[in-house]
Amino acid sequence: MSLLQVKNLVVEFPGRRGTLRALDDVSFDIAPGEILGVVGESGAGKSLTGASIIGLLEPPGRVASGEILLEGRRIDNLPHDEMRQVRGRQIGAIFQDPLTSLNPLYSIGRQLTETIITHLPVTPAEARQRAIQLLKDTGIPAAEERIDHYPHQFSGGMRQRVVIALALAAEPKLIVADEPTTALDVSIQAQIITLLKTICKERGAAVMLITHDMGVIAETCDRVAVMYAGRVAEIGPVHEVINRPAHPYTRGLMSCIPDMEVERERLHQIDGAMPRLNAIPTGCAFNPRCAHAFLRCTSDRPDLMSAGATRAACWLHEADAAVQPPSSQPEAVA
């Protein structure tokens, strides 16, 4: 059974000039102990999907339709107070900038123990011991002393470890990690990635890892969902999506990564840019940038369909299109 199920999620932002649809029919699930990567360009809807799951959509953003279920219980329509209990106790969050998650006026120990006492039936002394153990588990040296230090007394990498400890404080079953390594140097990134994988394995927690870095996805995740213009373009096992991408957008992302074994004068790039929310093309949103687009791509929007070992939202994988001879394919769009 899936731990998290996102079904046909639509997120809209009402405005004076009309309603903008930022997420459009997004569906995926995460199993217990699984790490699902969510990748795409800036503006694809990755962080908005994470914010919707943890109940932190910025007004006037709202879930217009669809469902988010955690262990079979719908959570997208919970009252604010009930969602606060879910967030922290059942869902932990790790954000890109640890300073946004940590109060500079409180010691690390106070922030950890308050979170533990809020969600778990423990005494203050037990909460402090648990906080010290969490700091040790996340690689903070001299945890007994550092627990009384303040956020500014930690380096960026150590602050991110503290945030991970904070996310784990109440033993959540799901962790939403939004760009947790972006602000860190490469060596620290590797340590944080290893830590997330270890936590997932030892505690059985599922992780939704939001990033734009395919290298981090390849190192960390079991499956990956590629997002484009508020929709899932492709989803499947990470090794399949990376080595045999089925959607033209995924192929473009993969070919943008430099190959250390091949000499190139220039890197490949995907021409064009992500469309604005008020200018998303009809049909497949990627069609103006796609070298394989044909007439149907400009009028009909594809849903996710079987594409070998993955599922891709691309008409190239429609069953009857796959068996048509090249001469009978629709005319290509220039």
What is the pLDDT at residue 79?
A: 93
What is the pLDDT at residue 255?
A: 81
What is the pLDDT at residue 321?
A: 45
The pLDDT profile of the chain, 334 residues, written as one tens digit per residue, is: 799 999 999 999 998 888 999 999 999 999 999 999 999 988 999 999 999 999 999 889 999 999 999 999 999 999 999 999 999 899 999 988 888 889 999 999 999 999 999 999 999 999 999 999 999 988 899 999 999 999 999 998 899 899 999 999 988 999 999 998 877 788 888 888 888 888 778 888 899 999 988 888 988 899 999 999 999 999 999 999 999 999 999 999 888 776 667 776 677 788 889 999 999 999 999 999 999 999 999 999 999 999 999 999 999 998 644 444 443 344 444 3
Q: Sheet of 62-70: strands edge to edge?
A: 18-30, 4-15, 62-70, 73-74
> Given CA atoms 197, 201, 28, 58 in this order, what sign does their dihedral have?
negative
What is the pLDDT at residue 319?
A: 63
- Tell me how far apart the terminal alpha carbons of the chain are, to the nearest angstrom: 45
Domains of the chain: 4-221 (3.40.50.300)
Q: What are the structure tokens assigned to 35, written together?
A: 């790490």
Residue with tokens 């969510």: 38
Residue 125 buriedness (CB in 10 A; 0-12 / 13-18 / 19+): exposed
**Residues 314, 304 contacting (CB under 8 angstroms):** no
What is the pLDDT at residue 328?
A: 38
Q: What 3-state DSSP class applies to 322?
A: helix
Q: Which residues of 154-178 are buried (b: 16+ CB within 10 A; e: fewer)?
A: beebbbbbbbbbbbbbbebbbbbbb
- Please name which of 82, 52, 28, 8 lies closest in space to residue 176, comparing C-alpha atoms: 52
What is the pLDDT at residue 8?
A: 97
What is the pLDDT at residue 271?
A: 87
Which residues does 319 contact at the CB level (< 8 Å), separation at least 6? none
How far apart CA 19 and CA 21 sit, in angstroms, is: 6
User: Cα Rg for the chain, rounded, in angstroms?
Assistant: 22
- Beta-strand relationship, 310-312 and 305-307: antiparallel
What is the pLDDT at residue 193?
A: 85
